[in-house]
Structure 1
C-alpha cells in the first residue's frame, strides 16, 4: 500500500488514496511559544525546499499565544507565495475546545462545520487537504459526523478526512458507518507511537491495515525522551526533553534510557535519529509527524529516513524496548 516506487524514497501514497505525501510530516505544535513566527516560516521554507510537502496543524495549536495562532502563522506563510498552496498537502484538526461555549468543541455537525470555516479563514485557503478529527467524540454518532464531513467534501472545502487518537475499534466503527453511506471515511489515523509506546501494534495498526488507512505517528521521540535526554540534561541544553511527557516517562524508564543512549553511542548514531529511524521503518507507517524547532531537527529526520537501521540494530532495540506481551497483534500478544 505504501511502497516507495522508483528512486523517490521521500514520498508515498496516503493510505489507499492516490495522494502523494512525504514520509516526514512537518508538525507545527511548537509554533507559538517555543517557535516564533520568523523561525516557523524558516522551518516551513526549509521543509518544502527539501521535498517535505506534508504540513500538519490543528485549530487549537498556538494556545500559548491563543488558540488558532498557528493556523494564522501558516496562513501568512502560504500568502507569501502563490505557488506554496499547490505545493503542500495541508492537514489540520477539529474537536478540541476552541472557546467556552457548550458547542465550541467536539464532533457535532454544528461544530465540525463552524470549525472548518474558521480554520479556512485563519489559513487563508479555500480547501483543507486532510481534515482530521482530533479525538473521538463518544457523544457524536457516526451518521452525524459523516453528514457534516460529506457536506464539506461536497462543497470542496475538504479533500480527505482523517482521525487522530482513535482506538482500533473506533477506526472500524467509523469505516463501517462510512461504507453504509457510500463515503470514503477516514484515510489516515494519527497516533502516539514510538519505541516507548507500542500499544498501537496490538489493534490500531492491524485495523488501519485492514481498512487501507494511513498511519501517521506523532511524538516519535516521546517528547524528547528518545532524543538523548540524559546527555542533553548533563550538558544543560535539554529544553522540551526535560518537560511534560518526556519528564514523566523518564522517572519510570531512567535505566532503560541510560542503556538506550549507550546503545546509540555503540551504533555511532544520534539517539534522535535512531528513534526516528525505528518508527519510520515500522510496517504500516506512512508518514512520521515531527515537531522540530530548528532546520537542524528537520535535517536529522531526513538523515534518519535516508539511513535505515540495520537488522542487528533493530534486534538490539527490540530487546531493550520489547513489544507488549509476546509481541504481535491482539489477542496473540497476551495468549499463553
Structure 2
C-alpha cells in the first residue's frame, strides 16, 4: 500500500479510501465486516462513511456496522475514520443542514453509532447556503476543542465555496478544510475547471467519489455481455447506452494494455493533481483486488494522451479561465 498526507495536514492516509455506502443498503453486517477486515489487511487505513448511509432512513446503519466492527476487531486506532453531516437524520426542521445545533447533535449521534470517542475527518456532506460560515466554524471548532473531531472536510463544494470556507476559518485562526470529496472520473471532469485548482491553491486534498462513474468504467460492456451482476446492470443500463461508443473504445484500449478497465480508471485518477485517494465502494471482498492493481499501474504518456482523446476534458482542458478563454 502507498500512503500520502491528507491535503496540507500531517495525517497519513492510504492512497485508496474504503467507502462504505453499500453497508446496510446492499450488504449485511457480516459481509460489511469481512470487507473492513480485508481492506485493513491490504493496508487501507482510510475508511469513509456518512450518518445517512445504510438504506434505512435516519438509522445510520453503515456507521453502526463500522462501530460493531471496531468493537469486535479492536482496530479503531489503526483506522483514519471519516464520516459526514448534512443530510436529514430526523423529521424535524433542525434535523438536517449545517446549523451549529445540527452539527453538534449529529456528531454526538455518529460517535454513539460508531462506538468511538472521536471522528478523524468530519465532513460537510454538502454546502449549506442558508447557514453562515461563522456559525459552521463555531460548531466545528467546538468539536475540535473537545477532541470529538480531529480534522474537518467538505464534499460536493464548488471552488468558491472552498475559498469562502477557508477565508472564514482563517479569521478564526482555524485550520479549516483539509479535504474535499468530489465527483471525479474520466467521465466526469468538470471539477478540473474550478474545484481542483481552488483545492490545490488552498492545500485541500481531493477524495474522488464515484471514480468508476457508477460502474461504467469497470468493464460495463463486458459485464453486460457476460451477464455479470453489478451497479451497471442494475442501476445504470441507460447510461451504458448513452456512452456505448466511447466505452467500446475504452475497453478495447484497456485490453491492448492488458489491464482491467477499473484499474486504468483508478490509476488515471491517482495521477491527477491534488488527488489524495479515490473512494472505492466494494460490494464483495473479491472486488478489492482490482483497485489494488491500480496502485501498481503506471500509465505512459501515450496512454494518458489516448485517455484524453477518449474522455476529453471540458473546453481546452485544465483550470479556468484558460479552459474557455485565452
What range is the shorter-chain TM-score in? Answer: over 0.9
Among candidates 168, 192, 199, match of residue 183 of structure 2: 192
Please say if residues 109 and 148 of structure 1, whose CA atoms lie closer than 8 Å, have aligned partners that are also in contact.
yes
Question: 2:179 and 2:200 mapped to 1: Cα distance?
Answer: 10
- Decide whether the 8 Å contact of 1:223 with 1:241 is kept in 2: yes
Q: CA deviation at 1:331?
A: 0.7
Deviation, 1:65, is 7.3
The 5 Å alignment of 1:233-252 reads 233-244=224-235, 246-252=236-242
**Aligned pair partner of 2:278 in 278, 284, 288:** 288
Aligned to 2:73, the other structure's residue is in SS state coil
Q: Does 1:223 align with 2:214?
A: yes
Shift of 1:238: 3.2
Report the CA distance between 1:66 and its aligned residue: 5.7
Separation in 2 of the partners of 1:162 and 1:313?
Answer: 33
Within 5 Å, give how 1:89-104 maps onto structure 2. 89-104=80-95
Residues 66 and 145 of structure 1: CA distance in aligned 2, closer, same or farther (over 3 Å): closer
- 3-state SS, counterpart of residue 238 of structure 1: coil
- Quote how far apart the aligned CAs of 1:306 are: 1.4
Cα pair distance change 1:190/1:29, threshold 3 Å:
same
Deviation at 1:296, TM superposition (A): 2.1
Deviations 1:149-190 (A, max 9, x none): 000000100000000000000000000000011111111000
CA contact (8 A) 1:32 1:65 kept: no
In the alignment, which residue of structure 2 is the partner of 1:11? 3
- Could you give the per-residue CA deviations for residues 46-85 of structure 1, whole angstroms, max 9, x where no partner exists? 1111111000000000024763001000000001133x11
Distance in structure 2 (CA, Å) of the matches to 1:204 and 1:234: 37
Structure-1 residue corresponding to 2:247? 257
Alignment of 1:28 with 2:20, yes or no, is yes
CA distance in 2, matches of 1:164, 1:65: 21
Q: Please give the per-residue CA displacement for 1:181-237, whole angstroms capped at 9, x wherever unaligned.
A: 111111100000000000111010100111100100011001101001111011111
Q: Give deviations 1:18-42, integer Å, cap 9, x for gaps.
A: 1100010000011113222111111
Contact 1:189–1:216 under 8 Å retained in 2: yes
Q: 1:146 aligns with which of 137, 144, 150?
A: 137
Count of matched residue pairs: 326
Query: Which residue of the partner structure matches residue 5 of structure 1?
Result: none
Paired residues for 1:1-336 under 5 Å: 10-64=2-56, 67-82=59-74, 84-244=75-235, 246-335=236-325
Instruction: Describe the superposition over 1:125-161 as per-residue Cα deviations: whole angstroms up to 9, x where unpaired.
Output: 0000000000000001000000000000001000000
Name structure 2 gaps, 5 residues minimum.
Answer: none
TM-score by length of structure 1 reads 0.94
- How far apart are residue 281 of structure 1 and its match? 1.4
State the alpha-carbon separation in 2 of the partners of residues 135 and 49 from structure 1: 32
CA 302–47 in structure 1, closer or farther in 2 if over 3 Å, else same: same
Contact 2:16 2:280 in 1 (8 A): yes
The Cα RMSD (Å) is 1.3
